[in-house]
């Protein structure tokens, strides 16, 4: 496809989208804008964008596609600013925010009818941030939610899909309100729960110093999403307030029922509760990407002798398998393996499993 593309916000998501469009549509010209000039310079030097934008007004007025990849409240400010610009009547504007109902309402209120705003939410992420972390495979097989809003033709939605075809994502067209309810359930609400678990551990750590050390194992893993950007999650919580309040009310009722279950102390009821949870979780897709970024961990049950870690990483280096993190677990209750190796993709993890299976007799388990 030919045309001018402007990506506003050159972080991980914006940078990766720019890279996907450049690779899939080499005849298009991709410009990038970011409030941090350093990110624009890096994006230009890395070939992620073709042009660093000096004047946002001039860039968007010549654009055929505008991608806003900023925090949700900043996106609203940009839409308001666009009203003073003379955008092409044929322009498509999309965003990458994690909430959709409020931004769609604002777009319908602020933007002229002829400008086509289609909400977007690519469900992918990484432990890294910034334009230097941009990858053209970041969205591969991930769900990419699109919320066209009222009166948007299927042709315009298909046009946006064509622009984004290089992501190799799975597109889902969904109502904005339903989007927020679904992502609230399997993304936003779990982040609040993870943060509350960490807050509780923090309070107990004041009286029990060993909490910090013992939490380095499984607890740290099940709460790692609590390490996400506080600013981003502040915005998401405020934007999806009604959905989250409803889900917290349901959770409160669930916890009351759990309390009653423990008070009654019926072993069959307790076992059934955990069995039902296990069965549902075991039925969830393993290889599919969901709303929360996947963590590709490999647990290696290594023997305790000097040099064993360098031995393992040496085998991986020989096969040119990249890893993103490696750590030793001191607490291993219900967790297999003392060595945890994290990879950027499931393919890298599979290669590592094959490599270590062939060269060692260590037990390996997927995280």
- Are residues 162 and 190 located together in one domain of the fold? no
52-to-60, 82, 131, 190, 330 alpha-carbon distances in Å: 13, 19, 13, 37, 47
Tell me which of 174, 208, 234 is where a domain ends.
174
In this structure, the answer to whether residues 267 and 341 fall within a common structural domain is no
CATH number of the domain encompassing residue 341: 3.30.70.260
| Whether residue 147 is found in the same domain as residue 20 | yes
Nearest residue to 195 via CA among 223, 171, 220, 222: 223
- Joined tokens for residue 209: 């110093």
* Token duo for residue 18: 């720019």
Q: Are residues 152 and 58 in the same domain?
A: yes
The CATH number assigned to the domain holding 23 equals: 3.40.50.720
Q: What is the C-alpha to C-alpha distance for residues 252 and 241, in angstroms, rounded to an integer?
A: 16
Residues 183 and 170 reside in one and the same domain = no
HEC string for 116-132: EEEEEEECCCCCCCCHH
Q: No. of H helices and E strands in the chain? A: 15, 12
- Residue 66 is inside which H or E element, if any? strand 65-68
Residues 56, 114, single domain; the answer is yes
* Final residue belonging to a domain, choices 174, 195, 224: 174
User: Which range marks the domain in which residue 336 is found?
Assistant: 296-366
Among 282, 316, 336, where does a domain finish?
Answer: 282
**Residue 72 and residue 212 in one domain:** no
Q: Which residues of 274-284 are buried (b: 16+ CB within 10 A; e: fewer)?
A: eeeeeeeeeee
Q: Are strands 4-8 and 29-33 parallel, antiparallel or unpaired?
A: parallel
Which is nearest to 42 in space by CA: 57, 55, 32? 32
Place of tokens 């298009």: 28
Domain assignment of residue 289, yes or no: no
The answer to whether residue 288 is domain-embedded is: no
Q: Is residue 124 domain-shared with residue 144, that is, in the same domain?
A: yes
Closest-CA residue to 243 (of 172, 196, 189): 189
Task: Count the domains in the chain.
Answer: 3
Measured in degrees and rounded to the nearest 5, phi and psi for residue 42 equal: -65, -45
Do 147 and 187 have their domain in common? no
Same domain? 157 vs 13? yes
Is residue 230 included in any domain, yes or no? yes
Both 315 and 215 in one domain: the answer is no
Task: From first to last of the 367 residues of the chain, give the pLDDT tens digit.
Answer: 899 999 999 999 999 999 999 999 999 999 999 999 999 999 999 999 999 998 899 999 999 999 999 988 999 999 999 999 999 999 999 999 999 999 999 999 999 888 999 999 998 876 567 888 888 888 988 899 999 977 788 999 999 999 999 999 999 999 999 999 999 998 899 999 999 999 999 999 888 988 887 776 678 778 878 888 888 889 999 999 999 999 999 999 999 999 999 999 999 999 999 999 999 988 877 555 555 666 678 888 877 677 888 888 898 998 888 887 787 765 444 444 478 888 877 788 889 989 999 988 888 877 6
List, for residues 182-236, the tens digit of each pLDDT value.
Answer: 999 988 999 999 999 999 999 998 889 888 877 766 787 788 788 888 888 899 9
Residues 6 or more apart in contact with residue 71 via CB below 8 angstroms: 97, 231, 232, 235
CATH number, position 250: 1.10.3660.10
Q: Global pTM?
A: 0.77
Q: Which residues, other chains included, contact 70 with Cβ-Cβ below 8 Å and sequence gap of 6+?
A: 8, 9, 14, 78, 95
Q: Look at residue 291 and tell me if it is in a domain.
A: no
Instruction: Retrieve residue 367's tokens.
Output: 């995280």
Do 66 and 214 share a domain, yes or no? no
């Amino acid at each position: 496809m030919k045309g001018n593309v402007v990506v506003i916000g050159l972080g991980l998501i914006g940078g990766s989208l720019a890279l996907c469009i450049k690779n899939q549509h080499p005849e298009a010209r991709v410009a990038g804008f970011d409030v941090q000039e350093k990110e624009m310079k890096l994006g230009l030097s890395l070939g992620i964008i073709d042009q660093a934008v000096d004047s946002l007004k001039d860039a968007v007025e010549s654009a055929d596609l505008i991608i806003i990849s900023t925090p949700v409240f900043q996106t609203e400010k940009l839409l308001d600013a666009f009203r003073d610009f003379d955008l092409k009547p044929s322009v498509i504007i999309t965003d990458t925010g994690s909430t959709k109902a409020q931004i769609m309402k604002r777009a319908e209120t602020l933007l002229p009818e002829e400008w086509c705003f289609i909400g977007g939410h690519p469900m992918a992420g990484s432990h890294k941030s910034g334009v230097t972390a941009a990858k053209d495979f970041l969205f591969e097989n991930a769900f990419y939610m699109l919320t066209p809003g009222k009166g948007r033709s299927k042709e315009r939605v298909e046009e946006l899909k064509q622009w984004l075809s290089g992501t190799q994502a799975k597109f889902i067209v969904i109502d904005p309100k339903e989007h927020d309810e679904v992502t609230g359930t399997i993304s936003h609400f779990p982040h609040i729960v993870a943060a509350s678990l960490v807050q509780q551990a923090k309070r107990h750590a004041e009286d029990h110093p060993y909490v910090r050390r013992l939490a380095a194992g499984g607890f740290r893993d099940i709460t790692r999403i609590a390490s996400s950007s506080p600013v981003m999650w502040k915005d998401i919580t405020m934007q999806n307030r009604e959905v989250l309040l409803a889900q917290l009310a349901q959770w409160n009722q669930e916890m009351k029922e759990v309390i009653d279950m423990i008070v009654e102390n019926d072993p069959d009821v307790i076992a059934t509760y955990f069995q039902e949870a296990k069965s549902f979780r075991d039925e969830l897709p393993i290889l599919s990407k969901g709303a929360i970024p996947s963590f590709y961990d490999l647990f290696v049950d290594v023997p305790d002798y000097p040099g064993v870690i360098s031995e393992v990483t040496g085998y991986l280096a020989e096969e040119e398998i990249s890893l993103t993190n490696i750590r030793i677990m001191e607490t291993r209750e219900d967790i297999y393996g003392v060595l945890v190796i994290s990879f950027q993709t499931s393919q890298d993890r599979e290669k590592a499993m094959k490599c270590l299976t062939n060269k060692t007799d260590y037990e390996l388990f997927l995280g």
